Amino acid sequence: MDKLHRYYFEDLEDGMLDVFTKTITDADIMTFAGISGDTNPIPLSHEFASQTLFKGRIAHGMLTASFISTVIGTKMPGPGCIYIKQNLRFKSPVKSGDMVTATCTITWLIPERKFVDLSTVCTVGDCVVIDGEATILVPSRAAAVSP
Protein backbone atom coordinates (compact mmCIF):
# COMPACT_ATOMS: atom_id res chain seq x y z
CA MET A 1 0.00 0.00 0.00
CA ASP A 2 1.10 3.58 -0.59
CA LYS A 3 -0.35 7.03 0.11
CA LEU A 4 -2.60 7.04 -2.96
CA HIS A 5 -3.82 3.43 -2.83
CA ARG A 6 -5.16 1.55 0.12
CA TYR A 7 -4.98 -1.86 -1.62
CA TYR A 8 -3.67 -3.02 -4.97
CA PHE A 9 -5.16 -6.07 -6.66
CA GLU A 10 -2.30 -8.23 -5.36
CA ASP A 11 -3.17 -7.31 -1.75
CA LEU A 12 -6.73 -8.61 -1.95
CA GLU A 13 -8.08 -12.02 -0.89
CA ASP A 14 -11.47 -13.73 -0.98
CA GLY A 15 -13.43 -12.93 2.17
CA MET A 16 -11.79 -9.57 2.91
CA LEU A 17 -14.36 -6.97 3.95
CA ASP A 18 -14.70 -3.40 5.07
CA VAL A 19 -17.54 -1.19 6.31
CA PHE A 20 -18.77 2.39 6.46
CA THR A 21 -21.37 3.53 8.99
CA LYS A 22 -23.34 6.77 8.96
CA THR A 23 -26.51 8.05 10.58
CA ILE A 24 -28.87 9.53 7.98
CA THR A 25 -29.98 13.07 8.76
CA ASP A 26 -32.64 15.36 7.32
CA ALA A 27 -29.78 17.50 5.99
CA ASP A 28 -28.34 14.45 4.15
CA ILE A 29 -31.72 13.81 2.51
CA MET A 30 -32.17 17.45 1.47
CA THR A 31 -28.59 17.71 0.20
CA PHE A 32 -28.94 14.48 -1.80
CA ALA A 33 -32.15 15.80 -3.38
CA GLY A 34 -30.37 19.00 -4.34
CA ILE A 35 -27.29 17.30 -5.75
CA SER A 36 -29.11 14.51 -7.58
CA GLY A 37 -32.18 16.47 -8.68
CA ASP A 38 -34.36 13.68 -7.23
CA THR A 39 -37.20 15.70 -5.74
CA ASN A 40 -39.59 12.79 -5.27
CA PRO A 41 -41.85 14.00 -2.42
CA ILE A 42 -41.59 10.73 -0.46
CA PRO A 43 -38.22 11.77 1.04
CA LEU A 44 -39.05 15.49 1.12
CA SER A 45 -42.70 15.97 2.15
CA HIS A 46 -44.12 14.59 5.38
CA GLU A 47 -47.67 15.34 4.18
CA PHE A 48 -47.20 13.41 0.94
CA ALA A 49 -45.17 10.55 2.45
CA SER A 50 -47.61 10.00 5.33
CA GLN A 51 -50.20 8.91 2.76
CA THR A 52 -47.92 6.25 1.22
CA LEU A 53 -47.27 2.68 2.32
CA PHE A 54 -44.26 4.00 4.29
CA LYS A 55 -46.50 6.22 6.49
CA GLY A 56 -43.79 8.88 6.57
CA ARG A 57 -40.67 10.21 4.91
CA ILE A 58 -37.89 7.84 3.89
CA ALA A 59 -34.40 8.48 2.56
CA HIS A 60 -33.66 8.14 -1.13
CA GLY A 61 -32.62 4.56 -1.86
CA MET A 62 -29.63 5.75 -3.86
CA LEU A 63 -28.45 7.89 -0.92
CA THR A 64 -28.23 4.73 1.15
CA ALA A 65 -26.66 2.80 -1.75
CA SER A 66 -24.00 5.50 -2.14
CA PHE A 67 -22.41 4.27 1.09
CA ILE A 68 -21.37 1.15 -0.83
CA SER A 69 -19.38 3.44 -3.13
CA THR A 70 -17.82 5.01 -0.03
CA VAL A 71 -16.49 1.63 1.11
CA ILE A 72 -15.19 0.74 -2.36
CA GLY A 73 -13.65 4.11 -3.16
CA THR A 74 -12.14 5.02 0.20
CA LYS A 75 -11.61 1.84 2.23
CA MET A 76 -11.45 -1.44 0.29
CA PRO A 77 -9.86 -1.49 -2.12
CA GLY A 78 -9.78 2.32 -1.93
CA PRO A 79 -8.59 5.09 -4.23
CA GLY A 80 -7.85 4.14 -7.82
CA CYS A 81 -10.50 1.45 -8.30
CA ILE A 82 -13.20 1.81 -10.93
CA TYR A 83 -16.82 0.62 -10.79
CA ILE A 84 -17.69 -1.83 -13.58
CA LYS A 85 -21.20 -2.77 -12.43
CA GLN A 86 -23.51 -2.78 -9.43
CA ASN A 87 -26.75 -4.70 -8.83
CA LEU A 88 -29.00 -3.60 -5.98
CA ARG A 89 -32.11 -4.96 -4.31
CA PHE A 90 -33.92 -2.47 -2.07
CA LYS A 91 -35.44 -4.51 0.75
CA SER A 92 -36.56 -2.06 3.42
CA PRO A 93 -36.86 1.73 3.80
CA VAL A 94 -34.35 3.91 5.63
CA LYS A 95 -35.54 6.91 7.62
CA SER A 96 -33.85 10.00 8.98
CA GLY A 97 -32.12 9.04 12.22
CA ASP A 98 -31.33 5.48 11.07
CA MET A 99 -27.72 4.35 11.36
CA VAL A 100 -26.76 2.61 8.11
CA THR A 101 -23.80 0.24 7.81
CA ALA A 102 -22.53 -0.58 4.32
CA THR A 103 -20.45 -3.78 4.15
CA CYS A 104 -18.51 -4.93 1.09
CA THR A 105 -17.01 -8.43 1.03
CA ILE A 106 -14.77 -9.85 -1.68
CA THR A 107 -16.37 -12.93 -3.22
CA TRP A 108 -14.21 -13.53 -6.30
CA LEU A 109 -10.91 -12.32 -7.74
CA ILE A 110 -10.40 -12.37 -11.52
CA PRO A 111 -6.61 -11.95 -11.94
CA GLU A 112 -6.45 -11.81 -15.74
CA ARG A 113 -8.69 -8.71 -15.79
CA LYS A 114 -7.89 -7.32 -12.31
CA PHE A 115 -11.63 -7.47 -11.57
CA VAL A 116 -13.00 -8.04 -8.09
CA ASP A 117 -16.55 -9.20 -7.36
CA LEU A 118 -18.06 -8.04 -4.08
CA SER A 119 -21.11 -8.79 -2.02
CA THR A 120 -22.62 -5.41 -1.07
CA VAL A 121 -25.03 -5.07 1.85
CA CYS A 122 -26.50 -2.12 3.74
CA THR A 123 -28.09 -2.72 7.12
CA VAL A 124 -29.91 -0.77 9.81
CA GLY A 125 -29.31 -2.78 12.95
CA ASP A 126 -30.04 -6.39 12.03
CA CYS A 127 -32.31 -5.42 9.11
CA VAL A 128 -30.91 -5.71 5.58
CA VAL A 129 -32.13 -2.63 3.70
CA ILE A 130 -30.12 -3.17 0.48
CA ASP A 131 -28.21 -6.13 -0.85
CA GLY A 132 -26.46 -6.71 -4.12
CA GLU A 133 -23.24 -7.41 -5.95
CA ALA A 134 -20.58 -5.20 -7.50
CA THR A 135 -17.70 -5.71 -9.89
CA ILE A 136 -14.78 -3.32 -9.75
CA LEU A 137 -11.47 -2.90 -11.54
CA VAL A 138 -8.53 -2.60 -9.15
CA PRO A 139 -5.11 -1.26 -10.12
CA SER A 140 -2.22 -3.69 -9.92
CA ARG A 141 1.00 -2.91 -8.12
CA ALA A 142 2.97 -3.91 -11.24
CA ALA A 143 1.17 -1.30 -13.37
CA ALA A 144 1.70 1.35 -10.70
CA VAL A 145 5.51 0.97 -10.76
CA SER A 146 5.88 0.68 -14.55
CA PRO A 147 7.68 3.64 -16.18
State the pLDDT confidence band at 1, using cuts at 50, 70 and 90.
very low
Contact 60, 32 (CB under 8 A): yes
pLDDT value at 145 more than 70: no
Q: What is the pLDDT of residues 108-126, one digit of tens each?
A: 999 999 999 999 999 999 9
Amino acid sitting at position 21: T
Q: What is the pLDDT of residues 125-141, one digit of tens each?
A: 999 999 999 999 999 98
pLDDT value at 2 more than 70: no
Contact 113, 40 (CB under 8 A): no
SS3 (DSSP) at 127: strand
Q: Report CA 121 to chain centroid distance, whole Å.
A: 8
* Cα gap 53→75, rounded to integer Å: 36
CATH class, 9-145 region: alpha beta
SS3 (DSSP) at 98: coil
> Domain limits of the chain?
9-145
